[in-house]
Amino acid sequence: MTARLTADAVGWELFARFAFPPNELGYCGPPDASVLLSGRSRADVAGHAQGFDGAWAYLEEIAAAAGIDDPLDTEVVRSYWVGGPLLDAVNCGTLTARLRTLFANQPTGILDSVGSHGLAHHSFHVLVVYPWIRFLSGDPTTPLRILQACRIRWGTVDWVDDEHLGLLSQPLQFDGYRLFLGAEVLETARWRRDGITLAPRPESGDRIAAHWDWTCGRLSEQEVTALAAATASTLELVNSVRR
pLDDT above 70 as % of the chain: 97
Cα distances (Å, whole numbers) of residue 76 to 18, 69, 86, 102 = 13, 10, 7, 20
pLDDT band at 8 (very low <50, low <70, confident <90, very high): low
The answer for residues whose C-beta is within 8 angstroms of residue 104's C-beta and 6 or more apart is: none
Provide long-range contacts, Cβ within 8 A and 24+ apart, for 42-50: 42/12, 42/72, 45/12, 45/13, 45/15, 45/16, 45/72, 46/12, 46/72, 49/12, 49/15, 49/19
The total number of structural domains in the chain stands at 1
pLDDT given for residue 2 in this prediction: 31
Ranges 1-10, 31-40, 178-187: which has the least confidence? 1-10
Q: What is the pTM of this model?
A: 0.95
Residues 160-193 have pLDDT tens digits of 999 999 999 999 999 999 999 999 999 999 999 9
Q: Which domain holds residue 61?
A: 5-242
Residues 77-102 have pLDDT tens digits of 999 999 999 999 999 999 999 999 99
- Integer Cα distance of 132 and 228 in angstroms: 21
